[in-house]
């Protein structure tokens, strides 16, 4: 059974390809390598023993996307990861974000409808909840006005999917991720930020390995126990496994509704300082960090209510924070060898 993974050479995409292959799916990756490299296809093969098919093109190209779907109309389902994801960059270049993240989705949906491909899993984000009024945040929490064009593309994408489903046979599972971190246990694939990392954990590991001088902790005056902001960090392999379950659910026709939405988090919140402590413990390294001003647009705290996903998908995040930071550290060390 053939599954298309867009953005399959990216961070979450590559881990998901491995898990799909482990479950016997045939995977075809489409990626324009804008934030990854073709070596990842080799790395995936090294882990799973199976080389995924790979086509390099940009899904915002309408003709190329239409042609792709014509050639691969036997695809049973799509997991759509391919998107830009840097919050700050999206504020600087809003049109780049809207064009890239929305045009690609529209082209994919057109290809699905034209070729009778029924199932799509969409990469959404907890950013759609903004700073939730209640914690933990369940799937029924209200969608807040997006803080960034990036966040807005996730909200609009969910709306595009919902509107399209109303007038077609499309099945949609939108997965709202909390903060994915960590790497595959083999340390053969992991997160590969281009340039200076925006996200916490790659910044920590790059500082520890000596590429960055010092980590800036953005604010210790939040209304939290230690004053630093709290997130629900989830191991990328736990996240990847949830995608395989979502694909199974669609193919086995186990969905309760045409559109289903699930939170993917652990249900546990950790502060920035707690993540640093976990890293220091598992790595035996003392991290060079300093407290600086808050980062614009950051919320105080968010963590998931994963109960609906646990119950409906029969999925639960299994790996704890120390396993997450240790795997990230092993990956960083392997990368720099």
Query: Shortest Cβ distance from residue 300 to ligand UD1 (Å)?
Result: 9
CA atoms of 308 and 241, how far apart (whole Å): 16
Please give the DSSP secondary-structure letter assigned to residue 138: P
Q: In what order do the strands lie in the sheet with 26-30?
A: 53-55, 26-30, 2-6, 75-80, 119-125, 171-177, 259-264
CA atoms of 256 and 311, how far apart (whole Å): 13
Outline where DSSP puts E strands in 127-182: 171-177, 179-181
Query: Shortest Cβ distance from residue 219 to ligand UD1 (Å)?
Result: 7
Q: Which residues contact 28 (CB under 8 A, 6 or more apart)?
A: 2, 3, 4, 5, 52, 53, 54, 55, 72, 75
Query: Shortest Cβ distance from residue 273 to ligand UD1 (Å)?
Result: 9
Q: To which H or E segment does residue 87 belong?
A: helix 87-92
* Cβ nearer to ligand UD1, comparing 203 with 315: 203
What's the start-to-end Cα distance of the chain, in Å?
Answer: 37
C-alpha count within 13 angstroms, C-beta hemisphere, residue 149: 18
Q: Which residues bind ligand UD1 (CB under 6 A)?
A: 85, 87, 125, 127, 148, 151, 179, 198-200, 203, 215-218, 229, 231, 272, 295, 298-299
CB of 105 within 8 A of CB of 124? no
Grouping H, G, I as helix, E, B as strand and the rest as coil, residue 109 is: helix
* Cβ nearer to ligand UD1, comparing 105 with 200: 200
Active site residues: 150
Of the candidates 262, 237, 244, the residue with the CA atom closest to the CA atom of residue 312: 262
Query: Shortest Cβ distance from residue 301 to ligand UD1 (Å)?
Result: 9
Query: Shortest Cβ distance from residue 191 to ligand UD1 (Å)?
Result: 10
* Cβ nearer to ligand UD1, comparing 164 with 228: 228
Tokens encoding 308: 């609906």
Query: Shortest Cβ distance from residue 210 to ligand UD1 (Å)?
Result: 16
* Cβ nearer to ligand UD1, comparing 137 with 170: 137
* Cβ nearer to ligand UD1, comparing 85 with 235: 85
CB of 313 within 8 A of CB of 242? yes
* Cβ nearer to ligand UD1, comparing 112 with 147: 147
């Amino acid at each position: 059974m053939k599954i298309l993974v867009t953005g399959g050479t990216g961070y979450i995409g590559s881990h998901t390809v491995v898990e799909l292959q482990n479950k016997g799916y045939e995977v075809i990756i489409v990626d324009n390598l804008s934030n990854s490299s073709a070596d990842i296809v080799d790395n995936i093969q090294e882990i799973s023993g199976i080389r995924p098919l790979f086509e390099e093109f940009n899904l915002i190209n309408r003709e190329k996307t239409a042609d792709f779907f014509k050639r691969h109309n036997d695809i049973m389902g799509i997991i759509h990861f391919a998107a830009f994801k840097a919050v700050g960059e999206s504020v600087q270049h809003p049109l780049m974000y809207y064009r890239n993240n929305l045009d690609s989705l529209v082209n994919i949906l057109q290809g699905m409808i034209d070729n009778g491909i029924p199932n799509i899993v969409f990469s959404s984000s907890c950013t759609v909840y903004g700073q939730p009024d209640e914690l933990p945040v369940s799937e029924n929490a209200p969608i807040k006005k997006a803080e960034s064009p990036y966040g807005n593309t996730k909200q609009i994408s969910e709306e595009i999917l919902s509107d399209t489903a109303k007038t077609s046979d499309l099945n949609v599972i939108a997965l709202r991720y909390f903060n994915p971190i960590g790497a595959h246990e083999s340390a053969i694939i992991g997160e590969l930020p281009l340039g200076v990392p925006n996200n916490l954990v790659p910044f920590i590991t790059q500082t520890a390995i000596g590429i960055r001088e010092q980590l800036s902790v953005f604010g210790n005056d939040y209304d939290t126990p230690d004053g630093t902001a709290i997130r629900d960090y989830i191991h990328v392999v736990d996240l990847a496994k949830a995608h395989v379950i979502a694909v199974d659910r669609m193919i086995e026709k186990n969905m309760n509704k045409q559109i289903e939405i699930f939170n993917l988090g652990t249900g546990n919140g950790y502060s920035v300082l707690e993540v640093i402590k976990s890293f220091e413990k598992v790595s035996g390294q003392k991290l060079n960090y300093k407290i600086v001003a808050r980062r614009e647009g950051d919320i105080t705290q968010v963590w998931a209510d994963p109960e609906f996903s646990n119950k409906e998908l029969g999925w639960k995040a299994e790996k704890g924070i120390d396993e997450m930071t240790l795997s990230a550290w092993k990956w960083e060390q392997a990368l720099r060898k």
